[in-house]
Chains A and B, each alone.
Chain A
Amino acid sequence: MSDVYVLGVDMIKFGRFPDRTVPNIGAEAALMALDDAGLTIKDMQAMYCGNLGQANAMVGQRILQEIGQTGIPVVNCANACATGATAFREAWMSIKAGMYDVVLAVGVEQMGKGLLGGAGGGDGIPKEGLLGSGTMPCVFAEAGMEHSKEHGTTFEQFAKISVKNHHHSTMNPKAMYQIETPLDVVMNAEMISYPNTKLMCSVNVDGSAAAVLVSEKKAKELGMKRAVKVRASAMASDPYTDRDLVMPDVNACTRLAAEQAYEMAGVGPEDINLVELHDCFATAEMLHYENLGLCKDGEAGKMIDEGHVELGGKVPVNVSGGLLSKGHPLGATGIANIYEVCTHLRGEAGERQVEGAKLGMTHVIGLGTACGIHILEKV
């Protein structure tokens, strides 16, 4: 099977674009990724498109209607917050399978503001606030509180994650926000669902990101200079755990996918130079330090206290600003993470560059549950 390379990748600056359409936002990133690869839509042999909000509305084809209707096969994917990573992985698989040499993957979302989630639906009466809360800040708060119960993790430690990611985003012009949020500001922000304050919740934004994936043959033909090698692509659903159907378990499926990704790449967590992981809430990021093997179980609090996950630390996490500050356009997130890691591996991240980065990891979780992990390598 051919190795697969990312030849072009880009994202738009995340923001709020209520006057644009979903395909129009997606088309912008698609064109940017094509330009980055030095290719045109005529070179693409297939397209995989990730979008959640209009999952039944042929977003991929509508993007081609904006940038070039060449008749190539288009597959639209929806996989909760793992949607973008799923589109990327499907593109990767199609090249692995030997079907194509040049494939476009696009992720796009238009979000609007407000709380996501909600307990129960269907007949009868609303269940939110009656049978607990199904809002995302609460679901991830409960997952974080489980960590507090087992390891004594504090509100302050969770809050420090938000301070770090907001700080990182001041160096990322494509992030939604570029503002410092000191610890007292994070802790005193409106409490949404303890221990997640408003600044510890990801920002709902509109955005898109896209990548051009190529086979090894094609990469050699076109030039490897800025190519990034996909060393591993792994995906897991939630394996059975005792409480999973009542309290979604984001840990077990991340551990399963991480194990597969490390094995496929033939590397370990100690080899990874930077990680973009799914900080949909500050509580979630804490869990994934351990789930991804960046530290031992019970040491996540120490990772943030001792600065190991900051830019300049042992393994910088979310130097883009993460979902907390860069923003979280659901379907775009999984490709935007790949853009961030590729930018560091190419040595093009400017002020926030992780020096000497050779191997990077991306991770997303879609509740319900899907986990997608990619390991990328500088060529």
Chain B
Amino acid sequence: MSEKSLPAVGYLKIPDDGNPYLEGHKCGNCGAVFLGERSVCSKCFARDKMSAVKLQETGVLHSFSVVYRSFPGIDVPYVSAIVDLDGGGTVKGNLINIEPDPEKIDFGMKVKLTYQDALGRKDKEGNSYLSYFFEPA
């Protein structure tokens, strides 16, 4: 079992000496930003032009839904959000620290990333995980 938390997804990086961040891969040819590693750009088809970039911490809420029914054992309601990060990259995640009421959530609202324990979820070896969330900026 790992002593420190593991990242919930591969594109969440947890450096030994610094703060967690989300990693994108940016195409050097057309500028498209993808989550996760890849070598070919699916927008302009350029090969081997990808380089890792640190995604910015702030962005704008593009779309969302308030989820009232999920799979058994998952706490509801919660806000599932699609966020366009400043500087490029679109990320999906939970929007927290806001009332899960569609009337009270504005499209285009500014949000920021926060990194927290993955809702207490552990894998079968008992490892803890760190995840990312959005909250109003």
Contact = CB atoms under 8 A, between A and B. Distances in A.
Interface stretch (B13-21, B49-57, B60-68): B60-68
A269 interface: no
B71 A115 contact: yes
Nearest to B92: A132
In the complex, which range does the number of interface residues on chain B fall in? 35 or more
Contacts of B114: none
Contact of B68 (A118, A146, A190): A190
A60 interface: no
Contacts of B132: 131
A135 B70 contact: yes
Contacts, number: 131
A143 B62 CA distance: 10
B121 A126 contact: yes
A124 B67 contact: no
B65 A240 contact: no
A310 B65 CA distance: 28
B58 interface: no
A120 to B, nearest CB: 7
A184 B31 CA distance: 48
A192 B131 CA distance: 25
A194 B68 contact: yes
Contacts of A148: 107
A191 interface: yes
A10 B131 CA distance: 50
Contacts of B63: 142-143, 145-146, 149, 247
B112 to A, nearest CB: 16
A46 to B, nearest CB: 34
Which of B92, B118, B123 has its CB near the most chain A CB atoms (within 10 A)?
Answer: B92
Given A124-B8, A129-B94, A142 B67 contact: no
Given A124-B129, A246-B91, A129 B65 contact: no
A138 B64 CA distance: 9
B6 A133 contact: no
B82 interface: yes
A131 B92 contact: yes
B98 to A, nearest CB: 14
A357 to B, nearest CB: 36
Given A132-B93, A195-B102, A145 B65 contact: yes
B67 to A, nearest CB: 5
Contacts of A135: 67, 69-71
A133 B79 CA distance: 9
A251 to B, nearest CB: 12
B74 A128 contact: yes
Interface string B70-89: 11001110101110100000
A146 B6 contact: no
A193 B90 contact: no
- Judged by DSSP, the binding face of A is loop
A127 interface: yes
B46 interface: no
B78 A129 contact: yes
Contacts of A149: 62-63, 107-108
B121 A193 contact: no
Contacts of A1: none
A124 B6 contact: yes
Interface string B100-137: 00100001100000000011011100010101100000
A143 B63 CA distance: 8
B82 A247 contact: yes
Contact of B69 (A115, A132, A242, A245): A115
Interface string A232-252: 000000001011011100000
Given A125-B118, A128-B70, A190-B68, A246 B90 contact: yes
A60 to B, nearest CB: 32
Contact of A142 (B8, B64, B108, B123): B64
A246 B6 CA distance: 22
A97 interface: no
Contacts of B90: 242-243, 245-247
B43 to A, nearest CB: 4
Contacts of B43: 240
Given A142-B82, A145-B63, A145-B65, 7 more contacts: A126-B71, A127-B8, A128-B74, A138-B67, A148-B107, A242-B32, A243-B84
Interface of B: 6, 8-9, 32, 34-35, 42-43, 62-71, 74-76, 78, 80-82, 84, 90-94, 102, 107-108, 118-119, 121-123, 127, 129, 131-132
5 closest A-B pairs by beta carbon, nearest first, are A132-B80, A141-B65, A129-B74, A125-B121, A149-B107
9 contacts: A115-B69, A131-B93, A132-B92, A133-B80, A145-B65, A192-B68, A193-B69, A240-B43, A246-B82
